[in-house]
Structure formats: C-alpha cells, structure tokens
Amino acid sequence: EFVSEIKGLDEIEEILKRELHYKRVIIVPGDLDEDPNVKSELGRAAAKYVAGILRKGDIIALTGGSTIRDFVDSFPKKDEYGDLTIVPARGSMGKDIEIQSNTLVASLAEKLGASYRLLNVPDNMSERTLEAVLEESEIREVVSTIKKANVIILGIGRADVMAKRRGLGPEDINNLITLGARGEAFGTYFARNGKIVKKAAAVGLSIDDSLKVKDLVAVSGGTSKGDAIAAVRFAGENAVLVTDEGAAREIIKAL
C-alpha cells in the first residue's frame, strides 16, 4: 500500500493499461468523491480526448449517467461536426431525466450541430417484451443506426448502485452480490478480473458490440468506484479509460 502511495500518475497509468487491458489510460489528479471540481476535470479530460479522435461520418453512442453528463457539459461548442450522428447506446433507465442517455445525446448533438437519433424504450424489459418492441419499424430503424456506431462513450458504475438504478428488486440485487458482481457497464455485471456474472437483455449495444467499434472510451472516477472499474474488462484492443487519481489508487489495491 505504501508503495502505491508514492507511485506517480504516469506510472499508475502504465500499470492500469497493462493489468486492465486498455490501449490508453488517462488519469486526472484528485478524487471526485472528495472534490466535485475533479468530476468536471474528468469530463474535460474525456472531452479533450474524444474531440481528438472524431472523424467525419462517425456514429457516436453515449450511455447515460452523471459522469457522461459532465463529459457532454465539458465538450467545446463547435459546429465543425455537422456530419456526425449521436445515438444512445441503449434504452433509458432510472427516474432521473437529466442523466438519461437520450437527454445527453440531444444535448451533445445540439452543441456540435450534429444529427441525432433517440431510442424511446426502457432498458429493463423482459426478453419477450423486447422481441415485440423490436418489431416496431421505427425502433428497428434506430437500433440499426445504433448498431453501426463506431465510437462508444460509456460510464462504469458500481454493481450495487447500478442494479438499483436499473430497477432490480432487493432479491435480484442480493443474487448479483452473491455472484461477486462489482462493476457494471452496458447492463453487464462483472465480478473480479472481468468475469461476467449477468447480462441484461439487449436493446441497442451490448458488451459484445464493444469489441468491434473503432474507439471505446470509458469514463469513470472516484475512490468509491475503484473496485468496480477494476472488475470491468473490455476484450477488444480499442478501449481507453479516463479516470481520476482516487479511483486509480483504489484499482491498484483491488488488483
């Protein structure tokens, strides 16, 4: 523990890159659990990175969450991105409209003068309802655009927090915890070392789609999320993690 305390951020970036299999890790100083300014810094760092990788014609999928909201808020207002399309990665969930992916999609598109599509379905449907909903031509059309996304920007959450936000009951949450679930991304729950313990029925993008996109940018920070970020693994060669020092030091302990 003492050793990790004295490591510099550059060195920690290299360790996380190697251990969690990211092609790049960007760490902002501080801990957003302690200092709300760090959350804005995290959003700004992610926005700066993403602004550098966008190419003409890209289709960018966003998840919801307060971290991705900060990313959107930090994105510089520019109208040179008119040929981009922004879409939600999945359906909507939770009660808070401010952090729904549809809301963030519209707000980023407005800033960039980009096109956007919305997906007006909940993300927690049963397989049977989902099949019926996907027969609707309007939904099918949006989903086919979402499936063509080549850039994904997503949050990583704690399994317990996200299970609650996704509307799971106490028994299901307990089951997940018993299975060792620690981190959540795309409705997929991960136990230690990237072991997948549950995948939510898919509407839009799933963890499997994440393998084939050009760029996947995960944005997540705070000491309280270290353990969750340490559990999640993306199997492709395309993933970048933007995090903060608080989470990064906690991840090192969790490895």
Question: Shortest distance, CB of residue 220 to ligand G3H, whole angstroms?
Answer: 7
Of the two residues 109 and 228, which places its CB atom closer to ligand G3H in the complex?
A: 228
Q: Which residue in the set 43, 65, 204, 246 belongs to the binding site for ligand G3H (CB under 6 A)?
A: 65
The beta strand positions in 8-77, using DSSP E, are: 24-28, 59-62
The correct pick among 67, 85, 102, 124 for binding ligand G3H (CB under 6 A) is: 67
The tokens 């994904």 sit on which residue?
152
Q: Does 156 bind ligand G3H (CB under 6 A)?
A: yes
CA distance 221 to 43: 10
- Please choose, out of 44-52, 54-62, 64-72, 245-253, the segment that lies near ligand G3H by the rule CB under 6 A: 64-72
Instruction: Pick the closer one to ligand G3H by CB: 30 or 157.
Output: 157
Smallest gap from residue 224 Cβ to ligand G3H (A):
9
| Residues 235, 70: Cα–Cα separation, whole Å | 26
> Is the Cα dihedral 30, 210, 104, 170 positive or negative?
negative
Distance in Å, CB of 5 to ligand G3H, minimum: 26
What is the distance between the alpha carbons of residues 227 and 87, in angstroms, rounded to a whole number? 29
Selected from 4, 40, 66, 115, the binder of ligand G3H by CB under 6 A is: 66
Residues 74 and 133: their CA atoms lie apart, in Å, by 34
* CB nearer ligand G3H, residue 70 or residue 215: 70
What's the min distance (Å) between Cβ of 155 and ligand G3H?
A: 3
In this structure, what are the phi and psi dihedrals at residue 250, rounded to the nearest 5 degrees?
-70, -35
Residue range at the interface with ligand G3H (CB under 6 A); choices 65-73, 124-132, 188-196, 204-212: 65-73
Question: How many CB atoms are closer than 10 A to CB 11?
Answer: 12
The pair of structure tokens assigned to 195 is 């072991």
Does position 43 interact with ligand G3H (CB under 6 A)? The reply is no
Task: Give 184's DSSP letter.
Answer: E
Q: Write out the binding residues for ligand G3H, residues 160-219 only, by CB under 6 A.
A: 162, 184
Contact criterion met (CB below 8 Å) for 89 and 101: yes
Integer CA distances (angstroms), 188 to 7, 129, 162, 223, 249, in order:
32, 19, 10, 21, 24
Q: Tell me which of 30, 43, 88, 155 binds ligand G3H, using CB under 6 A.
A: 155
Task: Examine residue 223 and tell whether it contacts ligand G3H (CB under 6 A).
Answer: no
Answer yes or no: are the C-beta atoms of 109 and 115 closer than 8 Å.
Answer: yes
The single residue among 88, 157, 204, 226 that binds ligand G3H, judged by CB under 6 A, is 157
Binder of ligand G3H out of 60, 63, 81, 209 (CB under 6 A): 63
Residues of the shown chain interacting with ligand G3H in the complex, contacts defined by CB under 6 A: 63-67, 99, 155-157, 162, 184
